Chains A and B, each alone.
Chain A
């Protein structure tokens, strides 16, 4: 398997524009996570899915953020409208199972810059 695949790797957009980040988890993994990494706040869990169903979105900062997982092989994180403070590296991760016995496999991240 190629691992968790995120696209794009880099995104530069203007304030107010819509941004869509994409993630393809590892095949067979039941859990998918979206994290945000900034210098100020470190790694924050935004939302995670189990079998395509959102389980916990308490980390989503505002209504401007939304995430979907229409099928087991694809997820999106959308920011609309984007703001400069959304600039960060966004990571997608997937894991095979439950109970904490398994590790999360991370993608390489999308570096978002909002100007």
Chain B
């Protein structure tokens, strides 16, 4: 069965600093990987996704993620965070032929001035 681990429950970063949110997955074949963001009181919005090809994926809002098969990881990065990036971030894994996404428990990001 597929699973996702986000080891950091809460991260605090200064505005303008770089960010990396960790995501590790468990799945036997090549997974489809996603990062979603949830602002308070809102639904989830897709930031980026990886299916195949280039392992460095660019997303919206200046985010990127890198798929590393050897480490079973799909970490999310941003070189310089903005106060508006404060939100909850979810990593998710899916697979071909099955529309079910398995979500991680999320990482809450706090931005300090």
Could you list which residues of chain A lie within 8 angstroms of chain B, going by C-beta atoms?
A: 4, 31, 33, 42-43, 45, 48, 50, 55-56, 91, 93, 95, 98-101, 103-109
Q: How many residues of B contact A (CB 8 A)?
A: 25
Is the CB of B67 closer than 8 A to any CB of chain A? no
Q: How far is the CA of A64 from the CA of B78 in the complex (A)?
A: 43
Contact B46 A103 (CB under 8 A): yes
Q: What's the least CB distance linking B6 to chain A, in Å?
A: 9
B43 touches A45 (CB 8 A): no
**Minimal Cβ-Cβ distance residue in A for B6:** A42
In the complex, what's the smallest C-beta–C-beta distance from A39 to chain B, in angstroms? 10
Q: Kindly identify which residue among B43, B94, B102 contacts A106, using a CB–CB cutoff of 8 Å.
A: B43
A residues in contact with B94, CB < 8 Å: 100
Can you name the residue of chain B whose Cβ is closest to the Cβ of A91? B43
Q: Is the interface of A mostly helix, strand, loop or mixed?
A: strand
Q: Nearest chain A CB to B61's CB is how many angstroms away? A: 15
Residues of B within 8 A of A100 (CB): 32, 51, 94-99
- By beta carbon, the residue of chain A nearest B48 is A103
What are the interface flags for B56-71 relative to A under an 8 Å C-beta threshold, 1 for contact and 0 otherwise? 0000000000000000
A19 to B45, CA, bound (A): 26
Contact at B101–A108, with CB atoms within 8 Å?
no
> Which residues does chain A contribute within 8 Å of B36, judged by CB atoms?
106
